[in-house]
Chains A and B, each alone.
Chain A
Amino acid sequence: GIQVEQSPPDLILQEGANSTLRCNFSDSVNNLQWFHQNPWGQLINLFYIPSGTKQNGRLSATTVATERYSLLYISSSQTTDSGVYFCAAAGGTSYGKLTFGQGTILTVHP
């Protein structure tokens, strides 16, 4: 199955800083999603982005499917952005069988 690797594993920022999180995947995908898990454990979908670029407020994401990576950009970070960011991918006929990366733990200090 697909392997998903995320980097960096940990990231510490001061409020207002920008950051880029990376997700590499081992095979072609037809389903790629980014999630944020808040400190209370709730997983929130940020983007469904198997290819192309999307933006939502201070967050944006780009997936370059031919090079098998996706990037999540966080601008002007806030303390509420803290938590774990997961990338998850699926390919072939297993559209619904997302494989999750190990996550990037983001801490934003005031």
Chain B
Amino acid sequence: GAGVSQSPSNKVTEKGKDVELRCDPISGHTALYWYRQSLGQGLEFLIYFQGNSAPDKSGLPSDRFSAERTGGSVSTLTIQRTQQEDSAVYLCASSLADRGAGYGYTFGSGTRLTVV
């Protein structure tokens, strides 16, 4: 597609439920990133995928968070047993590569997650 697509755009869930957030990157972009943005923490790195390499998961805040990328394209971020502190805007971005020219990120519009 023309841009990075994220769904749903808004999600309200009850504490303790699991949620899945989806990201469709720009076609041909080999690198995909997840960040989250909250008032208190700013923009935080969560995880990134580059081609067939093992993902860099170093930003995931707990083992309740996981992500996968199928077929080098669509990615799903899963949060299990959601907590109120998980409330944030979850942003996905993609880029042509993770180094060198063409490395600028294109962000999606985000998923606003509210845990009640």
Chain B residues lying within 8 Å of A30, measured Cβ to Cβ, are 99
B27 at the binding interface (Cβ < 8 Å): no
Closest to B32 in A: A96
Segment 1-54 of A: residues with Cβ below 8 Å from B: 30-31, 33, 35, 41-45, 47-48
Question: Of B35, B44, B98, B104, which one neighbours A95 at CB under 8 angstroms?
Answer: B98
Tally of A-B residue pairs with Cβ under 8 A? 53
User: What 0/1 readout, one digit per residue, does chain B (73-116) give for beta carbons within 8 Å of chain A?
Assistant: 00000000000000001010100001100111111011000000
Can you name the residue of chain A whose Cβ is closest to the Cβ of B49?
A: A96
Known contacts A96-B33, A102-B42; A45 and B105 CB within 8 A of each other: yes
Cβ contacts under 8 Å, B45 to chain A: 97-99
> Is the CB of A86 closer than 8 A to any CB of chain B?
yes
Residues of B within 8 A of A (CB): 31, 33, 35, 42-45, 48, 50, 56, 58-59, 89, 91, 93, 98-99, 102-107, 109-110
| Residues of A bordering B, CB below 8 Å | 30-31, 33, 35, 41-45, 47-48, 86, 88, 94-100, 102-103
